[in-house]
Amino acid sequence: MRARPIALKRAIANLVSNALSYGGAARLTLSAREGGLVRLAVEDDGPGIPEAELEAVFAPFKRLEASRNRETGGTGLGLTIARNILRAHGGDVVLANRPAGGLRALASLPA
């Protein structure tokens, strides 16, 4: 696949950083090519996100953590940037709460 590796690195780093910051852990699973796509799941052990907010958190500056302190929360751009980068490469990222608890960010890219 043709890609901008530094941009993809940033997208993945943003997803992993969120998992570590808000979920206390980050487990990455890369799935083999299927249906023309490669998928990367980033899972954490945090509280998840309310179902009504799963899409809203991709909006610029949208944060669920209310603190303005950069030590306890970011600027609300990490998911926006990750999605924009992945979509620019023909892929996407979606969020889902895990049945056992925690959150899954599923990134897909054409391969």
Whether residue 82 has pLDDT greater than 70: yes
3-state secondary structure of 43: strand
- Tell me the pTM: 0.88
Amino acid identity at 74: G
**Confidence class of residue 71 from pLDDT cuts 50, 70 and 90?**
low
Which residue stretches of 24-106 are H helix?
Answer: 78-88
Sheet hosting strand 92-97, strand order edge to edge: 27-34, 37-43, 103-110, 92-97
**5-110, what's its fold?**
Heat Shock Protein 90 (3.30.565)
Percent of the chain whose predicted confidence (pLDDT) is above 70: 87
How large is the average pLDDT for residues 94-98? Answer: 97
Distance, in Å, from the CA atom of 40 to the CA atom of 28, rounded to the nearest integer, reads 7
3-state secondary structure of 30: strand
How large is the average pLDDT for residues 44-61? Answer: 93
The per-residue pLDDT of the chain, averaged, comes to 90
